[in-house]
Amino acid sequence: MAGNTFGKLFRVTTWGESHGTAVGAVIDGCPPGIPLSTEDIKRDMERRRPGKGGTTSPRKEPDKVEILSGIFEGKTTGTPISLVIYNKDAQSNAYKHLENIFRPGHGDITYLKKYGIRDHRGGGRASARETAARVAAGAVARQILGLENIIVSAYTIVLGGIEATKREFPEILDNRLYCPDNEAAAHMEERIAEVRRQGDSLGGIVEVRATGSLAGLGEPVFEKLDAALAQALMSIGAVKGVEIGAGFAAAGMLGSENNDAITPTGFETNNAGGILAGIANGDDIIARVAVKPIPSIGLEQNTLNLDREPVKIKIGGRHDISAIPRIIPVCEAMVCLTLADHFLRQKAIEN
Amino acid sequence: MAGNTFGKLFRVTTWGESHGTAVGAVIDGCPPGIPLSTEDIKRDMERRRPGKGGTTSPRKEPDKVEILSGIFEGKTTGTPISLVIYNKDAQSNAYKHLENIFRPGHGDITYLKKYGIRDHRGGGRASARETAARVAAGAVARQILGLENIIVSAYTIVLGGIEATKREFPEILDNRLYCPDNEAAAHMEERIAEVRRQGDSLGGIVEVRATGSLAGLGEPVFEKLDAALAQALMSIGAVKGVEIGAGFAAAGMLGSENNDAITPTGFETNNAGGILAGIANGDDIIARVAVKPIPSIGLEQNTLNLDREPVKIKIGGRHDISAIPRIIPVCEAMVCLTLADHFLRQKAIEN
Amino acid sequence: MAGNTFGKLFRVTTWGESHGTAVGAVIDGCPPGIPLSTEDIKRDMERRRPGKGGTTSPRKEPDKVEILSGIFEGKTTGTPISLVIYNKDAQSNAYKHLENIFRPGHGDITYLKKYGIRDHRGGGRASARETAARVAAGAVARQILGLENIIVSAYTIVLGGIEATKREFPEILDNRLYCPDNEAAAHMEERIAEVRRQGDSLGGIVEVRATGSLAGLGEPVFEKLDAALAQALMSIGAVKGVEIGAGFAAAGMLGSENNDAITPTGFETNNAGGILAGIANGDDIIARVAVKPIPSIGLEQNTLNLDREPVKIKIGGRHDISAIPRIIPVCEAMVCLTLADHFLRQKAIEN
Amino acid sequence: MAGNTFGKLFRVTTWGESHGTAVGAVIDGCPPGIPLSTEDIKRDMERRRPGKGGTTSPRKEPDKVEILSGIFEGKTTGTPISLVIYNKDAQSNAYKHLENIFRPGHGDITYLKKYGIRDHRGGGRASARETAARVAAGAVARQILGLENIIVSAYTIVLGGIEATKREFPEILDNRLYCPDNEAAAHMEERIAEVRRQGDSLGGIVEVRATGSLAGLGEPVFEKLDAALAQALMSIGAVKGVEIGAGFAAAGMLGSENNDAITPTGFETNNAGGILAGIANGDDIIARVAVKPIPSIGLEQNTLNLDREPVKIKIGGRHDISAIPRIIPVCEAMVCLTLADHFLRQKAIEN
């Protein structure tokens, strides 16, 4: 059973290769009567779009999302919503020299092992281009959550080893890195510039926060809300770790430190990250994801060609230095998809 | 859609409450002809069993697994395998005084928010008792993996802030904590003893490793192998974080440090943790999970009663100091279940 | 992916072999707060029970259903409900002589072809004994439907070629065959007696009717309500055909005859059987199933043994003459399971 | 959970409205390495295409299928295959006068009851236009089956009360109705002409036959092959009944007549329709579907408008007299999708 569908009630199936004709998503299970237009999707697409600045890939894609079905007079009808984004600027020739080589850190070698055939052009299905479809679908989920007063936002808290030391959320919009600490953001930019000159790349950490009417969401025992979020976020290409609330720090705490005391006005702390026993407790949901450095680098690396002979590789072409900040709307999209799905699941059993 | 089923082709549905009649699992999709007896399940059950030593809860459960269906003359038949473990030593009275109170760090409050009704006895469905069924089912998955030469093992690498500084795998069997560093294990035991005296509890980190014929497993893009493992492991009660390979450390690396160079004899390093683009690359799969401290502690905590009035609570009763080491066979079980499922999924599309 | 789970939101997984230790079902997704006791299940179990009269098998099973989980103080909790029915009167020796032979009309040969291994005792998983678990689970679904004023009943309309010429529903309880036409029922009994003397068996037709707040149920386009019912009913062992409303007769009608005119007080006719475009229109849902004659007969038949050599077979033992009337509560159960599932699915998208 | 996905391993999600921008399908789970081009899809699309002859609707759609993803150098890659068919000749104005009226026999009233909103243009999602996507996806399934030597064909056996009295399969290609009896076909055409003059419409019966390496397919107990086929076929708009093998006739047989004796060279008869206990026995699979008359007729009918007031309606516009023969490739497609799915499911558990 292939894995291109996400969600149980709000189900999204994405399709498409980096250098194919188009990428897209079909949403099945969106409730009827939700206002939706391409404008609602545009804002998130803009943030994911390549070519926005120094950190980002110069591939120029308008990323215009077309809604082919499921909408009538500005509202969803309950039937499947088909979203398509045609690829306009796929320069497959730029990848021609990589056709017979496995790029380290990429899926070239594993796709071939798994399927015995591989669309090498621009990474094919394994390309981050696929996330355009996730972001488009996530925007639909966000419409549903908006009606329930649920807000999801992601932001950079570490990049290239530089940490944001505060969470001044208004500052997220002040800098290109969506960092809630303008000063840290400036340092991150310096680090990016430095690493770019070296032909290398950087990783970082993104935090995602959801607020609003979340209490009760989550389906024990295998689809607990934290488990669902872990799957959702780990399914993003560059992500190598996911933690909820105190996360790995909780491993070093005493029970008396980690437990969130309960008071008539709410929890005293939020080490739980808003989730207890897999169910949202109503506090903010907080997740963090570890983003590995972009594997495509200009420095020379050892690898193999298709004949399994050792070769050297230097990757030029149009690449980002870091998956951050473009990964930020993708993280938000995956959390929106997860929450919308669990919201419908909860509705099904509530009185 | 409730979340008590794990897997798509090798599907496990668990059921049962801590102080109900029994807990159990139904496995649907186990291939026919796999040798299976209760003996094959017993070893893993033993390791999960309460009452094994100083760290662990004195609840005495024989944890005898009965196989009610799906086996004929010592082999699986392809029909559903029903496993049941009757609860013998459920002392619900010990929980009577907690009936009207929300224990901090537990699911008491969220189960009530979600369902509007709650089996308070021993944590009900949210109890770690539920994992007995996971371990039993995981043992069946392990039988399948064994035929494919795939081995899964978990071990303690941090407990109460004490780190294992080596991976001497034979030492795992030398100490009660399944730690691959006997010296560290001794320090961990001291820390446990100290914290026990304080009435507090401890967290830690468990590492899981899978070796063998793994290449090709994983279903992009939402059920990548790392995403599936993240869901599987995060679905365990005490887990607050999951990372693969270099994990959160990758966030601080350069691309040139993090990329695993490819050579004719394999990968030079394993920062990927055996997974590239969501598909196993054939190298060892390595995952780590952050385990929070046991929330049931003897120290006084602030909380609410069912009337939402502030009360103080001290939890006595039969509790572990740490979910480690009992969580170790549970981590293994979840990884076995994930790999067995993905193994069958890969078989379905292979020539 | 094995097929022992039915439903998407109200999910039932059955397990168990005819002559194994037990049969059972796990229900995942039952909403919390539904009153449920073993008494609620007993009535349906009684009607399915063997040994009730002349048509029926003399196997004596008390068919006592135990609820092992998911209930607290007389109500469902939203966690999985595990139902188990231990087999008491499995006389495997009676089947010993059939161990090496393929019974015509049974699954002996196909189970072996599919799985390469076969629990021959009493038909194993292919036995009608499996339907005990369906009926138990169906009784839980019926509790949910009852709260929504939905009533499901099945009855015999043809047996051994004798047709019920009226639908006097109160008469259903007057005769052992659940036939809404006492006179026809008497003729059916005569036919049964006659065929029993010949060592042969009989088929028939069962009609199922659902009434109540059904409008809106059904999920186009592949899980339309009629499609879901067709799967549900055809999954019962002896069923070879399913029709909705006018069914096969519609094939011979003109559009002007078949269309149900719409009036302010409802539909003028019900050729649609209560379903239009896969969605319940609020009228009674009517389905009919063709039940083949019991394949186990006392007359001599040609078949093969395990070595594929031709042999003759006469089947004695404890067999019904017709799957009717014991199939009637099974038909009801499958319709109840389908409607409960679709009821929850509709709740998930409704405002 | 919405119902626009069919299959478990070979999964097809269709989308699109009759008068929207396009209809389409996404196939997830197609094995890699299957040869596939638009030419392979074209033949089936041609047979479903409107405007082919006297019985059929004059809507002119080229029905050109575009493959947007999942193919590389003429073969499937194992990634999702996105198929799109743009609507070219949607004359929504022709439906303007029906905007406020419920057409008898159509889903107008039920879609509104279910979703509270309705795309009235040409029937929206409930239109037979949706089956174009099924046929396109079915053609991909047929490619897989072809490699396994499995052939699926459907043909008309009753139309307007005229029965085919023979099964001369070569004659299927001789007449426009795909009837294996040219003489009967001629009578059917006369009946069509007659009914057309009356402004009425006709139903009929289609038989589907699958041959080849089928033994072992089917997943007891709820997704038995006959149950899966029943769902698949009943999900087609005009279908009101499905039977397998002897079907409803089996209800009138004795066990000794209905049982298919087993001989060293195969089954003596095929009343089972190739399926025993839900698993293919290797003999031809035979299913029949009852097709209701097209509900859109020129004769005056009683119905309601949106204000629930009684009105008269006569439906002109571009309509078929019978869903036959255009439903024939749709029936084949649904059987191909079912068999391809079950073929992969069987592969997953086989040694």
How confident is residue B53, by pLDDT bands cut at 50, 70 and 90?
very low
Q: In terms of pLDDT, which residue wins out, C66 or A95?
A: C66
D114 in contact with C, Cβ within 8 Å? yes
**How far apart, in whole angstroms, are the C-alpha atoms of residue A259 and residue B57?**
20
Q: What is the 3-state secondary structure (H, E, C) of C86-113?
A: ECCCCCCHHHHCCCCECCCCCCHHHHHH
Chains A, B: CB contacts within 8 A come to 384
Is residue A76 helix, strand or coil? strand
Is residue A280 helix, strand or coil? strand
The owner of tokens 């003459």 is C321
**How far apart, in whole angstroms, are the C-alpha atoms of residue C124 and residue B264?**
51
Q: Enter the ipTM.
A: 0.97
**How far apart, in whole angstroms, are the C-alpha atoms of residue C256 and residue D104?**
10
- Answer yes or no: are the C-beta atoms of A82 and A28 closer than 8 Å: no
For the ranges A126-130, A250-254, A282-286, D317-321, the lowest mean pLDDT is seen at: D317-321
Is residue C341 helix, strand or coil? helix
How confident is residue D91, by pLDDT bands cut at 50, 70 and 90?
low
- Report whether pLDDT(A201) > 60: yes
Chain C residues with beta carbon closer than 8 angstroms to that of B4: 26, 28, 79-80
**Interchain proximity D348–B351, CB inside 8 Å:** no
**Interchain proximity C258–D203, CB inside 8 Å:** yes
- Answer yes or no: are the C-beta atoms of C134 and C334 closer than 8 Å: yes
Residue D96, pLDDT score: 75
Find residue D24's DSSP bridge partners. Answer: D15, D84
pLDDT, tens digit only, all 351 positions of chain C: 899 999 999 999 999 999 999 999 999 999 999 999 999 999 999 988 765 544 555 567 788 999 999 999 999 999 999 999 999 876 667 677 788 999 999 999 999 999 999 888 888 999 999 999 999 999 999 999 999 999 999 999 999 999 999 999 999 999 999 999 999 999 999 999 999 999 999 999 999 999 999 999 999 999 999 999 999 999 999 999 999 999 999 999 999 999 999 999 999 999 999 999 999 999 999 999 999 999 999 999 999 999 999 999 999 766 789 999 999 999 999 999 999 999 999 999 997
The DSSP element (H or E) to which C240 belongs, if any, is strand C239-244
- Of the candidates C5, C70, C77, the beta carbon closest to that of B28 is on C5
**Interchain proximity A276–B106, CB inside 8 Å:** yes
**How far apart, in whole angstroms, are the C-alpha atoms of residue D63 and residue D72?**
23
**How far apart, in whole angstroms, are the C-alpha atoms of residue A54 and residue C84?**
64
Interface of A with B in 42-81 (CB under 8 A): none
**Interchain proximity D79–B344, CB inside 8 Å:** no
| Shortest Cα–Cα distance, D301 to chain C (Å) | 7
Per residue in A193-207, is it b (16+ CB within 10 Å) or e — as a string?
Answer: eebbeebbbbbbbbb
**How far apart, in whole angstroms, are the C-alpha atoms of residue C116 and residue D308?**
60
Beta carbons within 8 Å of D39's beta carbon, 6+ residues apart: none
B120 in contact with A, Cβ within 8 Å? no
Contacting chains of B (3 CB pairs or more, <8 Å) are A, C, D
**How far apart, in whole angstroms, are the C-alpha atoms of residue D86 and residue A319?**
35
**How far apart, in whole angstroms, are the C-alpha atoms of residue C191 and residue C200?**
11
- A74: buried, middle or exposed (CB in 10 Å: 19+, 13-18, 0-12)? exposed
C129 in contact with D, Cβ within 8 Å? no
D219: left (phi over 0), alpha (psi -120 to 50) or beta: beta
HSE of D308 in the Cβ direction (CA atoms, 13 Å)?
Answer: 6
Beta carbons within 8 Å of A175's beta carbon, 6+ residues apart: A182, A185, A186, A189
Contacting chains of D (3 CB pairs or more, <8 Å) are A, B, C
Selection from B56, B66, B58 nearest residue B21 by Cα: B66
Pairing of strands B162-163, B22-28: unpaired
| Shortest Cα–Cα distance, A255 to chain C (Å) | 28
Q: Where are the alpha helices (DSSP H) in A86-237?
A: 108-115, 131-147, 182-198, 225-234
| Shortest Cα–Cα distance, A239 to chain C (Å) | 29
Residue A167, pLDDT score: 97
pLDDT in tens, C15-58: 999 999 999 999 999 999 999 999 999 999 998 876 554 455 55
pLDDT in tens, D126-150: 999 999 999 999 999 999 999 999 9
- Of the candidates B24, B68, B75, the beta carbon closest to that of C20 is on B68
The owner of tokens 């019978």 is D322
The owner of tokens 């035979």 is D286
C-alpha distances in angstroms, D333 versus C278, D153, D245?
A: 19, 9, 19
Give the amino acid at D167.
R
How confident is residue D27, by pLDDT bands cut at 50, 70 and 90?
very high
Beta carbons within 8 Å of C180's beta carbon, 6+ residues apart: C155, C157, C164, C166, C167, C168, C169, C171, C172
**Interchain proximity B349–D220, CB inside 8 Å:** no
**How far apart, in whole angstroms, are the C-alpha atoms of residue D287 and residue D325?**
16
**Interchain proximity B348–D351, CB inside 8 Å:** no
Could you tell me the two tokens for D37? 């081009």
Interface test with A, best of D4, D38, D84, D343 (most A CBs within 10 A): D4
| Shortest Cα–Cα distance, C98 to chain B (Å) | 16
Could you tell me the two tokens for D150? 């499995």
Is residue C267 helix, strand or coil? strand
Residue ranges and CATH numbers for the domains of chain D are: 5-349 (3.60.150.10)
| Shortest Cα–Cα distance, B150 to chain D (Å) | 17
The residue in chain C having the minimum alpha-carbon distance to the alpha carbon of residue B30 is C2
Could you tell me the two tokens for C2? 């094995």
Residue B348, pLDDT score: 97
C-alpha distances in angstroms, D260 versus C323, D245, D254?
A: 18, 11, 12
Could you tell me the two tokens for A317? 């072409």
pLDDT in tens, A6-57: 999 999 999 999 999 999 999 999 999 999 999 999 999 998 876 554 555 5
How confident is residue B59, by pLDDT bands cut at 50, 70 and 90?
low
Mean pLDDT value of segment A310-331? 91
- Report whether pLDDT(A158) > 60: yes
D299 in contact with C, Cβ within 8 Å? yes
The owner of tokens 């064909």 is D153
Q: What are phi and psi of A178, to 5 degrees?
A: 55, 50
Cα torsion angle, C292, C297, C299, C304, sign: positive
- Of the candidates D216, D240, D273, the beta carbon closest to that of C114 is on D216
Chain C residues with beta carbon closer than 8 angstroms to that of A31: 348-351
DSSP D227-247: HHHHHHHHTSTTEEEEEETTG
Angle at alpha carbon of residue A241, lines to A237 and A243, rounded to 5°: 130
pTM for the model stands at 0.97
| Shortest Cα–Cα distance, B42 to chain A (Å) | 23
Residue C53, pLDDT score: 44
B113 in contact with C, Cβ within 8 Å? no
C242: left (phi over 0), alpha (psi -120 to 50) or beta: beta
Residue C317 DSSP code: S
Residue D130, pLDDT score: 96
- Report whether pLDDT(A205) > 90: yes
Residue A329, pLDDT score: 97
Give the amino acid at D9.
L
The share of chain D scoring above pLDDT 70, in percent, equals 95
Mean pLDDT value of segment A221-227? 98
Angle at alpha carbon of residue C230, lines to C228 and C231, rounded to 5°: 65
Chains A, C: CB contacts within 8 A come to 39
Selection from A207, A186, A185, A176 nearest residue A56 by Cα: A176
The DSSP element (H or E) to which C286 belongs, if any, is strand C285-291
Residue B97, pLDDT score: 77
- Of the candidates A26, A32, A117, the beta carbon closest to that of D116 is on A32
Is residue A315 helix, strand or coil? coil
Q: What share of chain D is helix, strand, coil (3-state, %, to 5)?
A: 35, 25, 45
**How far apart, in whole angstroms, are the C-alpha atoms of residue D299 and residue D200?**
7
Mean pLDDT value of segment B48-74? 77
- Answer yes or no: are the C-beta atoms of C286 and C245 closer than 8 Å: yes
- Count Cβ atoms below 10 Å from residue B305 Cβ, excluding itself: 14
Is residue C343 helix, strand or coil? helix
Residue A53, pLDDT score: 45
Interface test with D, best of A69, A130, A223, A346 (most D CBs within 10 A): A69
Residue A221, pLDDT score: 98
DSSP B28-42: E-PPTT-B--HHHHH
